[in-house]
Structure 1
Amino acid sequence: MFRLWSSSHHQDNDPLQHEVKINELKAAIGPLSGRSLQFCTDACFRRYLEARNWNVDKAKKMLEETLNWRSTYKPEEICWREVANEGETGKVYRASFRDRSGRTVLILRPGMQNTVSIDNQMRHLVYLIENAVFNLPEGQEQMAWLIDFTGWTLSTTVPVKSARDTINILQNHYPERLAVAFLYNPPRIFEAFWKIVKYFLDNKTFHKVKFVYPKNKDSVELMKQYFDEKNLPTEFGGHAILNYDHEEFSKLMTQDDVRSAAFWGRDDKLPHYGNGHSGAEVAPEPVCLAPVAS
């Protein structure tokens, strides 16, 4: 579940040629309206072309499949109140800090799994990915993932089929959204799961996934290239002590839901969230930024 989006080396680094390809893809997709029009920005067209090595036909197929998926799954309509129970333990959350490039950071702690419904778990993850994208700074298209394996066992992981289905959704419908994913200190038993799951992943994304072990100096130094130690939680070898407060995080997500509803043209009447639960570690008060379309 951890190597989720496509990456690519451009076949042609000529910016003018890229513009030609973007315009070709726009023409191939045809007229759009409503939320599809909002979704399909020039940056969106670029990501899908990059994910398919600037092949217009392949990018068109991929983007059309995403538009169909979004029209039925409606990820932009998922509200925090619908998935809040999934977040009670802080198993996935948007961190209050960014990486050195200003990217939004999602922290995942699979050992904190607290529910059994795969569908609800997926909606929770999709919600937070949409939220992370929504909070990207202007000009930034990608996010970073930090995955903490504390408490992870084979009994707390998702079934292989569910992992494959999750990867398919994320890899196919959020291309070029992942900059890097650090898997921090995974236990040896994770290797068995990884050997199976990695075959479902796009080969072009493989190098975005970095295994970090505290006793491996090179892997630790690589992680420091992406993150300032003063911001990095102690669970990832940094110096920050961050406590996840579910009630406070819920308030932040509810505020973002109001902004998201306005951006997407929803007329949601979102209630004040006030029934949170204390949990584990994270994000007090992420900075609210202007929305950036996917």
Structure 2
Amino acid sequence: MSFLLKARSEPNQSRSPSSEELQEKIVHVRELLGSLIAEMPAFLSDTTIRRFLRARNWSTEQATKSLKETVKWRRQYRPEKICWEDIAEKDYEGRRAYIADYLDAKGRCVLVSKPAIKAKVSGKEQIKYLVYILEILAMNSADEQEEHVTCLLDCKGWAISNTPLSITRESINIVQNYYPGMIAVAILSNTPRIFESFWKVKFVYTNNPESQKIVFEMFDMDKLETAFGGRNELTVDIESYAERMKRADLVRGASSMGRDINLVKL
């Protein structure tokens, strides 16, 4: 098993600001964003600004630059409008990537991805589903002071024909640029070393007891999938998963039902 662990202590990493300093930074970013705040008030919340600040080493200038680039992307992509019913081959894609129904030991959401399973949809639709999942995970970050997602990737049997490198690059670009500050740790099982060229984090390849210790400390082994060293041999229940996603859509205001209601009101 191989592990991809996010480096926590970089030499030039700034200390976390105090609550008062952080609020000052958020206010400053809001001032720098100007009229964009009124254009996307739901997205440009204090929570989002705090997340971008954290991901950009608490630099108000860098966070503002990233937020402006993200606003430009969101204008075109409209990720907040995507709902479960919009996902092509959703029952199949939901088995390739899904938000687990359990948390890790630190209470973080768990995103499971199985890139070795060949997709039935186009690269465009695969990216759409990724963005949909990221929107739901971002919605769950309201009260989080740190990165709140643990990512698990089962790469056993992976080949370029399963998930082309171009899609891998675009996926990582979206995560790093438009949804920064969410992923705390990524654990990759059976990983080709070519993956190292895509991630700006530290890879640790191990086949010793220390690797199992890491997993044991992070997860309930009865819930963790066997692909990652756990004891759970069950596959995702797609019907239950679909219901969870639909409920999340209602909370986000992105469900087809919500859109129909809005149309009636207009």
Please state which band the TM-score falls in when normalised by the shorter chain: 0.7 to 0.9
2 CA distance for matches of 1:174 and 1:7? Answer: 18
Percent identity over the alignment is: 32
Matched with 1:278 is none
Determine whether 1:153 maps to 2:159.
Answer: yes
1 CA distance for matches of 2:8 and 2:34? Answer: 25
Matched with 1:134 is 139
String of CA shifts for 1:137-161, please: whole Å, max 9, x gaps: 74365211111123322331313x3
Aligned residues: 251
String of CA shifts for 1:45-66, please: whole Å, max 9, x gaps: 1221222222222211110111
1 CA distance for matches of 2:250 and 2:226? Answer: 32
Please, what TM-score do these two structures have when normalized by structure 2?
0.82
2 CA distance for matches of 1:252 and 1:55? Answer: 36
Determine whether 1:125 maps to 2:125.
Answer: no
Q: What are the equivalent positions in structure 2 for 1:128-277 lying under 5 Å apart?
A: 128-136=133-141, 138-139=143-144, 142-159=148-165, 161-186=166-191, 190-191=192-193, 193-195=194-196, 197-198=197-198, 201=199, 203=200, 206-207=201-202, 211=204, 215-261=207-253, 267-269=258-260
Deviation at 1:225, TM superposition (A): 2.3
Matched with 2:264 is none
String of CA shifts for 1:92-142, please: whole Å, max 9, x gaps: 011110011111111001111222511100001111121223345743652
Please state whether the residue corresponding to 1:155 is helix, strand or coil: coil
1 CA distance for matches of 2:144 and 2:53? Answer: 18
Residues 150, 184 of structure 2: 8 Å contact kept: yes
1:257/1:67 CA distance change after superposition, 3 Å = same
What runs of 5+ residues in structure 2 fail to find an aligned partner? 262-266
2 CA distance for matches of 1:139 and 1:46? Answer: 10
What runs of 5+ residues in structure 1 fail to find an aligned partner? 271-294
Residues 47, 142 of structure 2: 8 Å contact kept: no
String of CA shifts for 1:261-286, please: whole Å, max 9, x gaps: 17x9x94249xxxxxxxxxxxxxxxx
1 CA distance for matches of 2:32 and 2:62? Answer: 11
Residues 212, 220 of structure 1: 8 Å contact kept: no
Residues 183, 212 of structure 1: 8 Å contact kept: no
2 CA distance for matches of 1:27 and 1:257? Answer: 31
Residues 229, 239 of structure 1: 8 Å contact kept: yes
1 CA distance for matches of 2:21 and 2:139? Answer: 29
1 CA distance for matches of 2:139 and 2:50? Answer: 18
Please state whether the residue corresponding to 2:103 is helix, strand or coil: coil
1:84/1:253 CA distance change after superposition, 3 Å = farther
Deviation at 1:12, TM superposition (A): 3.7
Matched with 2:101 is 96
Please, what TM-score do these two structures have when normalized by structure 1?
0.75
Deviation at 1:23, TM superposition (A): 1.8
2 CA distance for matches of 1:242 and 1:49? Answer: 39
**How large is the RMSD of aligned CA atoms in angstroms?**
2.9
String of CA shifts for 1:12-63, please: whole Å, max 9, x gaps: 43413333222211111124225x2111222221221222222222211110
Residues 6, 176 of structure 1: 8 Å contact kept: no
2 CA distance for matches of 1:256 and 1:55? Answer: 32
Please state whether the residue corresponding to 1:95 is helix, strand or coil: strand
Please state whether the residue corresponding to 1:112 is helix, strand or coil: coil
1:116/1:13 CA distance change after superposition, 3 Å = closer
1:216/1:185 CA distance change after superposition, 3 Å = farther
Residues 100, 109 of structure 2: 8 Å contact kept: yes
Please state whether the residue corresponding to 2:102 is helix, strand or coil: coil
1 CA distance for matches of 2:119 and 2:60? Answer: 42
Matched with 2:110 is 105
